[in-house]
Structure 1
Amino acid sequence: MSETEKYFPKLGDITRANIRINHITKHTPLQKNLNLSEEFEANILLKREDLQAVRSYKIRGAFNKIAQLTKEELQKGVVCASAGNHAQGVAFSCRQLGIRGKIYMPATTPRQKIRQVEMFGKENVEVILTGDTYDAAELAALNDCRQTGMAFIHPFDDPQIIEGQATVALEILQDIKEPVDYLFVPVGGGGLAAGLGAYFKQVSPQTKIIGVEPAGAPSMQKSLEAGKVVELPEIDKFVDGAAVKKVGEISFAVCQKVIDQMVTIPEGRICTKILELYNHDAIVMEPAGALSIAALDLFREKLAGKNVVCIVSGSNNDITRMEEIKERSLLYEGLKHYFIVRFPQRAGALRDFVDLVLGPTDDITHFEYSKKTNREKGPAVIGIEVQQKEDFNGLVQRMKENGFVYEYLNEKPDLFQFLI
């Protein structure tokens, strides 16, 4: 058995991590959500890590790791690669400890996230934009460490990072008065799931640990199925806080021992939950933050009468993403449909479409059309929003009955992404 496979977070190390970070991190609330509790007939509690100073749990592991560096290492400074929450946790830690930090971020990182890192780190942090992907930024960061001797702060694959994240579990079990039946944990690289799972398995072994990944990046699920770490060739990066091609070797070895079940959630379903939580409870979540709540539907039959904890991992959501979140939700729920419609090139063709095809509550939300010369028919890209999922069948039937030739784009992702 390798040293990686032997490692398992100890209660004493997690307790010391909690003491080490408690003057920096918040003991975040464990809140009962009345709407979810009523819907699932269970006691649904949200662990609000989105209320940390950096709006995610990442500050726990980052500070726990950096605070344990030697005096010589602290004098040299630290380096990390991240496009989001880990970068903010490292930047915040650098400022609190008065040390120098270099944050490598992909050049494609939204300006809002860069500003957040600069705000938390102030003069202690240098942000370096390089490459188009996280992998390119990480490679540049590791090269910097080799040249300068600065310490690399990994986002998830490090025992001290894992033990810092495990303090979330310590707080949950301090605050809850009854046994926890289910714990839903978002999974990216696996650091949070490894830490929480290890603590619960030692203190509350009856709790079922459910790991939740986005369907477009099921790296932990595939690795657990294979019995080893698997690198995915491609991922959907939409759930950026939990979308990794490859989980950590150390975190994977722990997750093998502590996760009872892995599930994946479609990105559109996650978007629906983000909107529901905002509209019903005024809670703003990033996509990764909503993962655990989006998984509850898969366990509806098992949750009645149970005590259930969902980790809300973060709320660093750029407001400019809300239109995409709404769009993905509508597409997933079957309420938004895109077509290429070949209109006869004659006056009144569009009016006929509106009068004869659209239902009383259907709404055209997207329309692109250019009249072509020397052609009988002109193609238009049309987006239609319906009120009920079942309205789609009537819409398609009326197009056929009235002779409108169409191509349905929702089922052709390559063409859909190119045109819309």
Structure 2
Amino acid sequence: MILDYQGAVQRLKPVVTRTPLALSLNLSKRYGCEVYLKREDLQIIRSYKLRGAYNMMSSLPKEQLQKGVVCASAGNHAQGFAYSCKKLHAKGVVFMPIITPQQKVQQTKLFGEDYIEIKLIGDTFDDCAIAAKEYTLQNSLTFIPPFDDLRIIEGQSTVGVEILEEQSDIDFLFVPIGGGGLCAGVGSYFKTFSPKTKIIGLEPEGAPSMKAALDAGHPVTLPSIERFVDGAAVKRIGDTTFAICTEVLDEMHLVPEGKVCTTILKLYNEEAIVVEPAGALSIAALDKYADQIKGKKVVCVVSG
């Protein structure tokens, strides 16, 4: 699967913030290595999801975009989609699970303004996505998926482009996985331009859709999931993201939800960084890799 990394960089240049790749003195000292944080929590919409949504939407033929677009999201993709609708002057409909935090609903309205309409449907992302796809077909619109499309993956890959423009000889890259778009994009870029980097994928213990897919050899639908890490709580991994992640992942690691909680508090108290649960996954995994990363150069993607 060929991704146009530089094309995505050019499309996104006028819209996304080039987020810092910051050395964490606290974490570096604790683990006896260099730990850099890719701060996608400082993106305009407070997560990397803008990259994929805008890359796909700006790639659509103008007539198709102007007809209207639809997305289903637990929050961050919705905000990236909404911001993209406003920037591209396109009408969009956002389907969100009923359990979506009110703050994310409000932020989505803020980013999309009059260009978007929000529909709250279903208890999980997966239920909500089914309703969104039905609506898209009924109204001859275009569905903008949160992860399972090459143009979305291509947009997310620009996180990797930025990392390698600032640092080389990276030994470990820790990447959170929900639907797998970020890992597929960043992972494929690293495997091409920094093949020695070991790529570790991270999921919450209560929603291990990538781990289950890797164990089965194909994507599987989990019967139920724990929703605390809402930005990475997906019942089924994408088919396209799975195909790429099987090629680029060196290891998968599951992080207990309790560990995510303590990491969020530590980041706030020690680094003055406020992250959502999914954004803490990469840092929450470092304890388990403490021996392996000693003396190495490590990058943790703080996704939002």
TM-score of Structure 1 vs Structure 2, range by shorter chain: over 0.9
Q: Which moved more, 1:104-113 or 1:58-67?
A: 104-113
Q: Out of 29, 32, 36, which is 1:45 matched to?
A: 36
Q: Out of 121, 141, 149, which is 1:130 matched to?
A: 121
1:187 and 2:177 aligned: yes
Deviations 1:263-300 (A, max 9, x none): 00100001101000100010001000000001111111
State whether residues 45 and 308 of structure 1, in contact with CA within 8 Å, keep that contact through their aligned partners in structure 2: yes
AA of the residue aligned to 2:215: E
- The corresponding residue for 1:211 is 201
TM-score of the superposed pair, with normalisation by structure 2 = 0.98
1:266 and 2:246 aligned: no
CA distance in 1 between counterparts of 2:123 and 2:193 reads 43
1:221 and 2:224 aligned: no
- The corresponding residue for 1:172 is 163
Deviations 1:283-340 (A, max 9, x none): 00100000000111111111111100000000xxxxxxxxxxxxxxxxxxxxxxxxxx
AA of the residue aligned to 2:88: L
3-state SS, counterpart of residue 61 of structure 1: helix
3-state SS, counterpart of residue 30 of structure 2: helix
1:89 and 2:80 aligned: yes
Rg larger for: 1
CA distance in 2 between counterparts of 1:285 and 1:84 reads 14
1:251 and 2:278 aligned: no
Stretches (4+) displaced over 4 A? none
- The corresponding residue for 1:326 is none
Q: Out of 222, 232, 237, which is 2:222 matched to?
A: 232
3-state SS, counterpart of residue 230 of structure 2: coil
- The corresponding residue for 2:46 is 55
Q: Out of 32, 47, 70, which is 2:23 matched to?
A: 32
CA distance in 1 between counterparts of 2:234 and 2:2 reads 23
1:242 and 2:232 aligned: yes
CA distance in 1 between counterparts of 2:87 and 2:191 reads 33
CA distance in 2 between counterparts of 1:253 and 1:303 reads 28
Shift of 1:106: 1.9
CA distance in 1 between counterparts of 2:139 and 2:273 reads 42
Deviations 1:96-120 (A, max 9, x none): 0011000011223222111111000
State whether residues 182 and 210 of structure 1, in contact with CA within 8 Å, keep that contact through their aligned partners in structure 2: yes
State whether residues 61 and 162 of structure 1, in contact with CA within 8 Å, keep that contact through their aligned partners in structure 2: yes
CA distance in 1 between counterparts of 2:155 and 2:257 reads 28
AA of the residue aligned to 2:54: F
1:76 and 2:71 aligned: no
* CA 181–284 in structure 1, closer or farther in 2 if over 3 Å, else same: same
AA of the residue aligned to 1:19: Q
Shift of 1:139: 1.7
CA distance in 2 between counterparts of 1:118 and 1:221 reads 34
CA distance in 2 between counterparts of 1:130 and 1:243 reads 17
1:306 and 2:299 aligned: no
Shift of 1:9: 3.9
AA of the residue aligned to 1:47: K
1:279 and 2:279 aligned: no
- The corresponding residue for 1:148 is 139
AA of the residue aligned to 1:158: D
CA distance in 1 between counterparts of 2:151 and 2:36 reads 27
State whether residues 126 and 235 of structure 2, in contact with CA within 8 Å, keep that contact through their aligned partners in structure 1: no
CA distance in 2 between counterparts of 1:67 and 1:216 reads 35
CA distance in 1 between counterparts of 2:2 and 2:76 reads 23
State whether residues 9 and 199 of structure 1, in contact with CA within 8 Å, keep that contact through their aligned partners in structure 2: no
Q: After superposition, where does 1:324-343 map in structure 2 within 5 Å?
A: none
1:294 and 2:267 aligned: no
3-state SS, counterpart of residue 264 of structure 1: strand
State whether residues 21 and 60 of structure 1, in contact with CA within 8 Å, keep that contact through their aligned partners in structure 2: yes
State whether residues 9 and 195 of structure 1, in contact with CA within 8 Å, keep that contact through their aligned partners in structure 2: no
Deviations 1:202-229 (A, max 9, x none): 0000000000000001110111111111
Shift of 1:135: 2.4
Shift of 1:144: 1.2
Q: Which moved more, 1:141-150 or 1:40-49?
A: 141-150
CA distance in 2 between counterparts of 1:22 and 1:229 reads 33
CA distance in 2 between counterparts of 1:105 and 1:163 reads 24
CA distance in 2 between counterparts of 1:272 and 1:249 reads 33
Deviations 1:226-245 (A, max 9, x none): 11111111110100001111
For the aligned residue pairs, the C-alpha RMSD in angstroms reads 0.9
TM-score of the superposed pair, with normalisation by structure 1 = 0.71
Consecutive unaligned residues in structure 1, runs of 5 or more: 1-7, 315-420
State whether residues 125 and 234 of structure 2, in contact with CA within 8 Å, keep that contact through their aligned partners in structure 1: no
